[in-house]
């Protein structure tokens, strides 16, 4: 998902995406450990998506405090 699309989402939607991507990352790690994963690069992309969501959630929390 593009960063521009993520910026327009609400905090609740971002929390849901974060939960989904963390579950997906867990599944990818299990597949990688059992040599069932074909595209190892997908792990890196999922971690990047999680980092982007966490960054946006942190920014939204700072906006609320102000």
Dump strand ranges (E) for 1-66: none
Q: What is the pLDDT of residues 33-43, one digit of tens each?
A: 999 999 999 99
Domain 3-61 has CATH 1.10.287: yes
Q: What are φ and ψ of residue 49, in 5° steps?
A: -65, -40
Domain definitions of the chain by residue range: 3-61
**Distance of alpha carbon 65 from the chain centroid:** 24
pLDDT, residue 49, reads: 96
What is this structure's pTM? 0.90
Q: What is the pLDDT of residues 2-43, one digit of tens each?
A: 889 999 999 999 999 999 999 999 999 999 999 999 999 999
């Amino acid at each position: 998902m593009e960063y521009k699309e993520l910026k327009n989402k609400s905090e609740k939607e971002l929390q849901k995406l974060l939960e989904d991507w963390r579950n997906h990352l867990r599944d990818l790690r299990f597949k990688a450990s059992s040599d069932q994963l074909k595209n190892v690069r997908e792990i890196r992309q999922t971690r990047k998506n999680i980092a982007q969501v966490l960054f946006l959630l942190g920014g939204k929390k700072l906006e609320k405090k102000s």
